[in-house]
Amino acid sequence: MKALMLGKLAMAIVAAMVLAVQAVAQEASNQSSQQQVSVAKENKRIIVVCLEDRKLALVVNGQVKKVYPVAVGKPSTPSPVGTFTIERRIANPTYHHNGKTVPPGPHNPVGTRWMGLSIQGYGIHGTNEPNSIGKAASHGCIRMAKADVQELFELVAVGDTVELVGKRNEETAQLFGEGQKSAAVATAQPILTAVVTPNAAPAQFPTPLAPEVNGVNQAAQILMTLR
């Protein structure tokens, strides 16, 4: 009888310990989630691109963190203007266009990084034509130098806001300075205005070939028009 009572007591103690451990783990999980939400709220990131200045700024919590030179769409294929979001981040993408496939490497037209926007077929990416940076030379996407796009890639996340501004204004003047009107800038490129509503369908891409971690797919293939 005494042994039975001791056995029941031991079982009760073990059960209590298990419940205590679970409670501690749950509390730690809640605190971690709250911290992640707090960090996400604190780090509000906006990418601003001025097509006229051909510059990109990363703004975090209202402060300019980085400014990069970029290439934008040429007059016949202008970059869209509007407010979008980053829908997908792909490292070392495989490029497809009109039956042509280019694997990751120095000849890939979109370089080593792709940040697809919520307007299908457009994104921020690298290039295999570094001399085009600073010019109106793309098919509508925003091109960046290799080191710049790889740095920016690590500083942004899916869901971040991207503002593409056609003409220099007070906001861009504060970000990039007044700028200088050159002969190339004086030839205004046509503006393709795109408005994204909350219910707009996101850009469509093929199913990734490998699982995505933190918004990054290391082996995904992307299908887009030549940008």
Domain-embedded: residue 7: no
Confirm whether 86 is domain-assigned.
yes
Given the residues 50, 96, 97, 125, select the one marked as catalytic.
Answer: 125
| SS3 (DSSP) at 27 | helix
Cross-sheet strand order for the sheet of 94-97: 100-102, 94-97, 221-223
CATH of the domain at 158: 2.40.440.10
- Domain span at residue 108? 42-223
Q: What is the pLDDT along the chain (227 residues), one digit of tens a residue?
A: 556 566 666 677 766 675 665 765 677 656 654 554 444 456 899 999 999 999 999 999 999 999 999 999 999 999 999 999 999 999 999 998 888 899 999 999 999 999 999 999 999 999 999 999 999 999 999 999 999 999 999 999 999 999 999 999 988 888 888 654 433 333 344 444 443 333 433 333 333 333 344 445 444 444 444 45
Hey, which residues does 213 pair with through a beta bridge? 216
125 labelled catalytic: yes
Question: What is Dmax (Cα atoms) for the chain?
Answer: 100
Is 97 annotated in the active site?
Answer: no
Is 71 contained in some domain?
Answer: yes
Catalytic residue among 96, 97, 107, 141: 141
Q: In total, how many domains does the chain have? A: 1
